[in-house]
Structure formats: C-alpha cells, structure tokens
Amino acid sequence: MYIENHMDVLGLGKRHLKCWNTLGSSSSVPCIKSLMSSSKLNDYSKTRSLAWRPNMGVENVELVPLSSKAISSYTVDPLSSMTTQPLKFPNLVTGLPRNPPYSSQTSALCTRFTPNEWFQKQVKFYNEADSNRYYSERMRSDAVKCIREAESKIQHNQYDTGRRLGERISDVTFWRNEIASELEKQVQEIERLQDCRTTLEKAVHDIQNPLHVAEECLYHREARKGSELVHDEAEKALLREVQNLRSGQNRLEAYLDKCKDQLRNCRISQNQLELDLKNKESALGIDMLCHQISNTSRGLQYYSGIEKYDPCISKPETWAETANRIIQKSQAERTKSCQLRADAETLINRVAQEMWDSWNSSNNALSRRCGELLEAKSKLQQHLHKVQQEIFDVEKNLELLRKAISDKSYALKVAQTRLEARTHRPDMELCRDNAYISLQREIDDIYNQVERMHKSLKDMENQHQRLLRTRNALEHDLALKIDAVYIDKEKVCGLRRAYPVNAMFRF
C-alpha cells in the first residue's frame, strides 16, 4: 500500500518498469541514464548555462549500459562480435586538470541536485524496488504453480502413456500367443500332410506290382494255343483287375496332386504366420523397452520434430483384423488339409479293398479255370485210353476179317472144284440135281459172305482211320490242355501265390 501511494504521488506506474532481459541487450542492465528523467537533465543543462555558475570543464557524457559480463571480458562481445573499448569515466569531483588549485573549492560551492530531487530519487528507488519485488514474488508463485502443473500433467501423461503401452503389450502378447499357437498347429498339420503325401506316393508306387503281375498273367495266357485261347472268366477277371488297378492309380495320383497343392497353400499360410509372429515379437520387444523407459533411464536423446512424423500404416481395428484374417486363413487351410487327409485315407482303403477283391476274384476265376482244365484233361485222357483200346480191338478185328476172307478161299476152291469136276459127267449124267444146285448156292453164298466181309473190312478200316484221327485230335487237345494247365496253374497262379502289396494297405 505504501508503495502504491508513493507511486501515485510521484506519478510513477508500472509503465516506468521495464522487463529484465538476460540476453545482453541495451535494456538488460539498469543504467544511470534510466535513473534520471529527461526533464532533470534539461534543468541541469540550464543551470550550467547560468552566469553565476562557473564552468569547471565538466561536460555531459552519455553513459553506455554495461553488459552482465565482467569488465575484464569486454574486449570481445560474443553476441555482437564487435570489439569494444573499456569505459573511461571523467573525474566529476576534480573536473579538468587545468585549474587544480581551485577544484575542491569549486566542487563544494557548485552542487548539481536539490534536496527535493534527492528525495524524489530515493522514493523512486523504493517504489521501484517494491514493485519489482512484488512482481517477482507473483512471478515466482506463478512459476512454482506452472512447474507443479507441468509436473503433474507430465506425470499423468507418462502414467497414461505407460498404461496404454501396457494395454498394447497385452494386446500384442495375446495375438502373438494366438499366432504362435496357430503356427504350431499348422506345422503339425503340415507334417501330417507330408506323411499323407508320402503314403499316397508309396501307394501309387505299390500299385505297380499287382498291375505288373496282372499284365504278366494276361501276357502268359496269350501263349495258349488253339482252342485253349479262349476269352474265359479268368481272362475277364484279369482284365477287370487291370482296369481297377489303373483306375485306382489314377485316383491316387489325382489326390496326390491335391495333396501337393494343399501342402503348398499350408506352407504359404505358415510363412504368413511366421512373418506376422516375427513382426509381433519385434513390436512386443520395442513396446516392452518403451514401457520400461523412465526419466532416469540411460541413453535418452532429443528427436526434434518426431511427433510430427507419422509412419503408421494401420489402425488398431485394421491391425487386429489383419491378424484375425491370417489366423482364419490358416484355420481354413488346416480344415481343408484335415478333410483331404481323411479323404485320402478313405481312398487308399477303398482302392486297397478293390485291389484285394479283384485279386481274389481273379484268383478264384483262375482256380476254377484250372479245375475245369484238369477235369477236361482227365476226361480227355480217359477217352484217349478208350479210343486207344478201341483202335487195338479194331485192328484185331481187321486181322480176323482178313484171315476169315482168306479162309473162305479154300471153301470156294472146294466148291468150284466140285462143280467143275461134275461138269465132266457124261451125257445125261449132267443133271441139275440137288448137289449141283447146292454147289451153286454154296458158291453164291461164299461170294456173298466174302463180299460182306470185304465191305465190313472196308468199313472197319474206315473206322480205324477215324479212330486214329480221333486219337490224334484227343492227343493234340490233351497236349493243349496240358499246356493250358501249365500256363494257368504253374505260371499264372505261381505269380499270384502272394499278394504283392505293402502292409500299409489296411483291410
């Protein structure tokens, strides 16, 4: 209150107060020129011009304000880059040295200020000191308040940022764990799919053995001759077996191609999961490092303008959606892989069952055919034996007929001799008596019997030839049967004694 009253009296206000600047400008340090008003200097100059006031050689000198630095360092001003000379003040008491004997006397007689001026100057200093102190106290309180508010705000912002970093770490950790779990499942599924691919490749390769056996059986059966080269049930069964084997091989190869494509898709999904997992682990490490940084951490630096640089390419929604999409794609590929493996296993079992059924069907047909051939061979052998026996009997009858015909020549000679002898009877003794008639009848009967025997002999000889041809046909057919039995029983069935399929096929 005292300061304000005096400032009102003297007409001084806050407009006379200047800011204290530490930059080394002309207004940085209060100078003597600011302590004296311009009106005072004008009055002083007027008093100098008075006739009764002697001139002591003292002139008005304008004082240059000093810098905040020491005088000893004023040779070079670092702010203005100018070389300055040290200030030299005149001796205000002695004045000029032209009249030294009278210097002390004239100084005592000639004073420059009045008591009123001196009092006003003191009041001005008091007011200025009070106002500056008041203003300084208020600025100190405002500065302390600003410091406290800034500290509180910064601490709150750091706490909030730390909390948000912790939430971000939790989110990244969650998705990292989800992706790691999905990656582990995908790797296991790829291993199982790789095993399925190996199984399919081995199944396709193992079909070659039964297919080769079936084709070899057909090739051996082509070596049959004559009427034995028949399109029987065994050959039909072998053809069906070859067709089933080739069909099963084609289906397995188709599933093998699908398995390779699915394996490629699973590996693409695995690559995406590994890349995203690597990125999330890197981001998690950076966020954890940022979460652990505090005001006392080492290695802190300024990065001017970093807050204006925005390198972000995603938002939390799109970030989570991208991770979720990658996981869903991996799950979809795993589902397809599981379904493909199940279908492949079912196909392998179905093909194996069809192969086994075809194999058994062909073996049964070959067994029946071999039985038929053996039965036919046995019957042919029986008939051949009977025909051989009949040929032997016919040959004996032929000999008997020839001998009988030869024997009838003697009776014919006897009858003809008798008849010729009786033709020599004389005259009336040539009588057609019963004896003559009997001889003629006997000779006719002999001729008839001989003719019949010749006819029977001819028929017997023809039958003998037919029997010989039949025997030859039977022997030839028996040889064909023996060859067919050897082919079907020894060669074909010999190839099919063991099932040429690996134990991986389950029935």
Query: What pLDDT score was predicted for residue 286?
Result: 93
Whether 200 and 259 have beta carbons less than 8 Å apart is answered as yes
CA distance 261 to 35: 96
**SS3 assignment, position 77:** strand
pLDDT of residue 153: 92
Strand partners, 82: 77
Q: Which amino acid, residue 205?
A: H
What tens digit of pLDDT does each residue of 27-47 get? 333 333 333 344 444 444 444
For the chain, how far is it from start to end, CA to CA, in angstroms? 114
Read off the amino acid at residue 60: N
Residue ranges of the chain with per-residue pLDDT less than 70: 1-111, 501-507
CA distance 185 to 324: 16
User: Whose CA is closest to 259, among 350, 351, 337?
Assistant: 337
The burial of 497, by beta-carbon neighbours within 10 Å (0-12 exposed, 13-18 middle, 19 or more buried), is given as exposed
Phi, psi (rounded to 5 degrees) for 82: -125, 145
Half-sphere exposure of 75 (CA within 13 A, CB side): 2
What is the predicted pLDDT for the residue at 499?
76
User: Residue 228's pLDDT is what?
Assistant: 84
Q: How far apart are CA 173 and CA 171, in angstroms?
A: 5
In contact, 341 and 193? CB cutoff 8 Å: yes
Q: What is the pTM of this model?
A: 0.62
Write out the DSSP string of 460-479.
Answer: HHHHHHHHHHHHHHHHHHHH
The burial class, CB within 10 Å (0-12 / 13-18 / 19+), for 251 is: middle
The pLDDT, as a whole number, for residue 88 is: 52
Helix (H, G, I), strand (E, B) or coil at 65: coil
Residue position matching structure tokens 């192969």: 355
